[in-house]
Structure 1
Amino acid sequence: MPRVFVQGSPADHYPRHAPEAGRGAVRRITEVGEEVLHKPCRDVTEFGPDLAALIDDMFLTMYVAEGAGLAANQVGVDLRLFVYDCPDDDGIRHVGHIINPVLESASAGRRLIDEGEGCLSVPGAVMAVPRPDRAVVRGQDKDGRPLVVEGTGYFARCLAHETDHTQGYIYLDRLAKRDKKDALRQMAARRDEVFARRAARAEELGGRGAGTLRSRGPAR
């Protein structure tokens, strides 16, 4: 069984970081309360160098923030796409990007897994969120070609979580009011620590634009 899947296809070898990151610059990650995170994103209709450059930046920003996935609106761009570098529950690594993602409806009887989930836009908070144990996402690659990516376990959670972002939802929207308040308390307590770690990672990875990591103000 291959240990890495790139854009949904098996790969014999793959570097520690996606090559896109080497061309990218670090962007500021938006936080809960900012408008761009809470409204549906626009369809991508133009495929070309600007889109490819955005994907490069998103990969590097995701690695700096130690995330498994990152949607465009998490770097302030209201377009429907996300990048990912995420293991499944069998330890198989999945790397790629998806443009205009559509998550297939969960089939009847599909098992829901209630496990911890975090978000780079809710820094420091982790809460249990029920998600299906399998996900299928259809979309396009950066050249506009059709793409289908399937995942199980933790990778399925990642695919669902990131597709939610493109529709203007964050995982807090799936929580009861009391749990949402708990998550925001966690964020308030750990946010500075998270930003310090991101800054250190930016230096380690040599990312351009490291000064943009810190938010320009507290989350609303």
Structure 2
Amino acid sequence: MAILPILETPDARLRQISKPVEVFDDALKTLIADMYETMYDAPGIGLAAIQVGVPQRILVIDLQEPDPEDEEGKRILRTPRTFINPVFSDPSEEMNAYSEGCLSVPEQFADVIRPAEITVDWQDEDGNPHRERMTGLMATCIQHEMDHLEGILFIDHLSKLKRDMVLKKLSKMRRAG
């Protein structure tokens, strides 16, 4: 496994539309393992393949919830989930606002409004089909990551003024080193 470099805005590759995965082989499984290692190292809770320069419709997500049985609150439960060729449908009319961040827009956060629930169809790393109704943080996270597959960043959901403010803060942070 390897930690891969994460593309950051304004890298034009982040604006590519990702292609469907057609071959489910060992190379795909290696890429997915590398994506998890990269995401955990960053650290983050989701990563799209395009964020590591691979324009394929692959997402890895792990919300990494605290273990409710850990009285000191230090142990984290990892529940990695891989989504290949995801498609969503039936968004709820109810919307949620969540302060989103992105590994490709480091250390910047802004409220984004998205459907509170969404149905997702996808394939696993063996090509098996799945369908699930997503809610809460998982619904927000998968919509955020699926945006990457279409060349969309979370800042694209913001007003021009807010987007410019986020980009200005990011530029200032980069100059400061």
Q: Which runs of 5+ in 2 are unaligned?
A: 69-76
Task: Map Cα deviations across residues 145-191 of structure 1 (whole Å, 9 max, x no partner).
Answer: 10224322111110100111111111111111111111112323445
SS at match of 2:105: coil
1:140 aligns with 2:123: yes
Which fold has the larger relative contact order, with Cα–Cα distance below 8 Å and residues 6 or more apart in sequence? 1
SS at match of 2:13: helix
- Asked whether the 8 Å contact 2:98–2:140 carries over to 1, the reply is no
Give the alignment's TM-score, normalised by structure 2. 0.86
Q: RMSD in angstroms over aligned alpha carbons?
A: 2.1
Indicate how the Cα distance of structure 1 residues 155 and 192 shifts in structure 2: closer, same or farther if over 3 A, else same: farther
Provide the identity percentage.
Answer: 38
Give the alignment's TM-score, normalised by structure 1. 0.70
1:152 aligns with 2:168: no
1:114 aligns with 2:97: yes
Aligned match of 1:4: none
Q: What are the equivalent positions in structure 2 for 1:61-210 lying under 5 Å apart? A: 61-86=38-63, 94-107=79-92, 110-191=93-174
Q: Which runs of 5+ in 1 are unaligned?
A: 1-23, 196-220
Pairwise CA distance, 1:87? 5.5
Pairwise CA distance, 1:94? 4.5
SS at match of 2:38: helix
Pairwise CA distance, 1:86? 1.0
Instruction: State the distance in 2 between where 1:93 and 1:60 align.
Output: 12
In the comparison of the two structures, how many residue pairs are matched? 167
SS at match of 2:60: strand
Task: Map Cα deviations across residues 56-105 of structure 1 (whole Å, 9 max, x no partner).
Answer: 000000001111100000000000010010158xx897521000010114
Q: What are the equivalent positions in structure 2 for 1:25-36 lying under 5 Å apart? A: 25-36=2-13
